[in-house]
């Protein structure tokens, strides 16, 4: 039986514009510093900023979007207890609204160790949404790889994280003989993940330096860094980038600086059978993969927690089968966009450079 769900979000680095979108244009006039100070010092409660329903019962609100009043930097740098108390208050609100499963969107997952901070809660289930994100990111990579020359070197930046580890393992299951460059800051975790996937026949190298990404043909961004980590000097000519991160690890200035590079927005799912009142900063009828995971679990009547910490590949596969079961609502990989704009053939022809020998892109 279907249950109710809630999904936690937070303002992005575009704080003023996000708050203006949520509460009306005058709020976009308040400077970022004032918003940040208010979030840090005042007891601003979690806010319901969206309501969701399914197309087959449009009047029945089954999902709530709840905004945690913290900036990306605050989520990762304020004292853990303070941050997790704010996220926990949002989970309380979700439970009071009748949700049985709560998805931890964007940096609310890294800020709570992938949801481990809430593992002891028994009043409501929690999922970090990263199993379905990993599964759909692999589909996105495969769609891009089908247009690239054979045997590309793929850099997974943030490979040891919750999405990253699950994705690395899913890739290794299907692509023995593939070439991965695993990138993060902690060398020990990288070495251990690389050893594991070498055992599955993947040719894996590791690096703690972004400069090494310049060797890769396809770069998948999966870090919890709050700013634009990937710069022009990290990109080889004709590289293709799939950016899953929220807030993004790529800056739109890269488009002008590097017209030879294709930057694709990752982790976006089409949900034509789902209605949203409010905004999550995406085109209509689109959802983040982690929100889609939360919806799938609610549609399945799931009880208890699901993806906590690093999800198992079996959990990702279970969600793929739920997506097939509930395909009347969508749940398929969205046509590719770059910084929100649908990738049209002429733009991508320019971006998909001859160096890569790619067939012309058709979105």
Ligand X SMILES: NC(=O)c1ccc[n+]([C@@H]2O[C@H](COP(=O)([O-])OP(=O)(O)OC[C@H]3O[C@@H](n4cnc5c(N)ncnc54)[C@H](OP(=O)(O)O)[C@@H]3O)[C@@H](O)[C@H]2O)c1
Quick check: 141 binds ligand X (CB under 6 A)?
no
Three-state DSSP state, 273: coil
* Span from 4-12, 34-42, 82-90, 242-250 in contact with ligand X (CB under 6 A): 242-250
Q: In whole angstroms, give the CA distance from residue 168 to residue 226.
A: 22
Q: Is 219 in the site for ligand X (CB under 6 A)?
A: no
Look at the alpha carbons of 163, 169, 174, 179 in this order and tell me if their dihedral is positive or negative.
positive
Give helix then strand counts, H and E, for the chain: 11, 17
Binding characters for ligand X, 114-133, by CB under 6 A (x = yes): x-------------xxx--x
CB atoms within 10 A of CB 275: 19
| Residue 315 CB coordination number (10 Å) | 20
Residues that contact ligand X, how many (by CB under 6 A): 34
Does 80 contact ligand X by CB under 6 A? no
Question: Nearer Cβ to ligand X, position 165 or 356?
Answer: 165
Vertex 167: Cα angle to 302 and 73 (nearest 5)? 85
Q: Could you tell me which stretch among 31-39, 42-50, 159-167, 294-302 binds ligand X (CB under 6 A)?
A: 159-167
Q: From CA 122, how far away is CA 129, in angstroms rounded?
A: 18
Q: How far is CA 99 from CA 7, 135, 136, 150, 248, in A?
A: 10, 25, 25, 46, 29
Quick check: 67 binds ligand X (CB under 6 A)?
no
Q: Does 204 bind ligand X (CB under 6 A)?
A: no
The nearest distance, CB 24 to ligand X, in angstroms, is 26
CB of 300 to ligand X, least distance (A): 19
Q: In this structure, are residues 24 and 12 in contact, taking their beta carbons and an 8 Å threshold? A: no
What is the CB-side half-sphere exposure of residue 103 using CA atoms within 13 A? 28
72 touches ligand X by CB under 6 A? no
Residue 293 contacts residue 316 (beta carbons within 8 Å) = no
The CB-based long-range contact list for 73-80 (8 Å cut-off, 24+ gap) reads 73/226, 74/36, 74/39, 74/40, 75/10, 75/107, 75/108, 75/110, 75/111, 76/107, 76/110, 76/111, 76/224, 76/226, 78/40, 80/111, 80/117
Q: Which of 264, 289, 351, 352 binds ligand X (CB under 6 A)?
A: 289
Among 140, 238, 267, 330, binds ligand X (CB under 6 A): 267
The most distant pair of C-alpha atoms in the chain lies apart, rounded to whole Å, by 57
* Residue from 49, 207, 224, 271 in contact with ligand X (CB under 6 A): 224
Q: What are phi and psi of 31, to 5 degrees?
A: -65, 155
Using rule CB under 6 A, residue 83 touches ligand X: no
Stretch that binds ligand X, among 61-69, 239-247, 274-282, 297-305 (CB under 6 A): 239-247
Q: State which residue, 21 or 130, has the beta carbon closest to ligand X.
A: 130
Q: Which of 100, 207, 223, 348 binds ligand X (CB under 6 A)?
A: 223
Which parts of 291-350 interact with ligand X (CB under 6 A)?
none
11 binds ligand X (CB under 6 A): no
User: Of 287 and 358, which has the nearer Cβ to ligand X?
Assistant: 287
Looking at beta carbons only, is 21 or 310 nearer to ligand X? 310
Binding of ligand X by 186 (CB under 6 A):
yes
Asked if residue 110 binds ligand X (CB under 6 A), the reply is yes
Q: Does 84 bind ligand X (CB under 6 A)?
A: no
- Residue 290 found at the interface with ligand X (CB under 6 A): yes
Is residue 288 near ligand X by the rule CB under 6 A? yes
Torsion angle, CA of 215/218/223/225, rounded to 10 degrees?
70
Give the interface with ligand X as residue ranges (CB under 6 A): 106-107, 109-110, 114, 128-130, 133, 157-164, 184-186, 189, 222-225, 229, 244-246, 266-267, 288-290
């Amino acid at each position: 039986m279907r249950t109710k769900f809630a999904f936690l979000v937070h303002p992005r680095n575009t704080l003023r514009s996000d708050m203006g979108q949520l509460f009306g244009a005058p709020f976009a006039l308040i400077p970022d510093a004032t918003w940040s100070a208010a979030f840090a010092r005042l007891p601003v409660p979690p806010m319901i900023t969206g309501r969701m329903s399914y197309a087959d019962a449009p009047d029945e609100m089954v999902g709530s979007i709840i905004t945690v009043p913290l900036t990306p930097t605050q989520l990762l740098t304020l004292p853990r207890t303070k941050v997790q108390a704010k996220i926990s208050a949002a989970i309380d609100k979700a439970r009071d609204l009748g949700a049985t499963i709560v998805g931890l969107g964007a940096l609310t997952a890294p800020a709570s160790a992938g949801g481990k901070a809430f593992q002891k809660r028994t009043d409501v289930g929690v999922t970090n949404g990263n199993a379905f994100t990993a599964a759909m990111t692999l589909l996105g990579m495969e769609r891009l790889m089908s247009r690239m020359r054979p045997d590309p070197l793929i850099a997974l930046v943030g490979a040891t994280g919750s999405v990253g580890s699950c994705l690395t393992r899913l890739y290794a299951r299907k692509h023995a003989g593939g070439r991965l460059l695993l990138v993060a800051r902690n060398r020990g975790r990288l070495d251990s993940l690389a050893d594991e996937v070498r055992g599955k026949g993947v040719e894996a190298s590791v690096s703690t330096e972004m400069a090494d990404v310049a060797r890769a043909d396809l770069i998948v961004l999966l870090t919890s860094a709050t700013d634009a980590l990937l710069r022009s000097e990290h990109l080889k000519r004709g590289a293709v980038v799939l950016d899953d991160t929220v807030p993004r690890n790529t800056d739109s200035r890269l488009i002008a600086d590097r017209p030879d590079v294709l930057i694709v927005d990752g982790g976006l799912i089409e949900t034509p059978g789902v209605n949203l009142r409010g905004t999550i900063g995406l085109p209509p009828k689109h959802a983040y993969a982690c929100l889609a995971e939360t919806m799938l679990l609610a549609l399945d009547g799931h009880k208890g927690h699901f993806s906590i910490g690093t999800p198992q590949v079996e959990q990702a596969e279970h969600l793929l089968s739920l997506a097939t079961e509930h395909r009347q609502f969508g749940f398929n990989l969205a046509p590719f966009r770059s910084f929100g704009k649908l990738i049209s053939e002429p733009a991508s022809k320019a971006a998909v450079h001859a160096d890569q020998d790619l067939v012309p892109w058709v979105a």
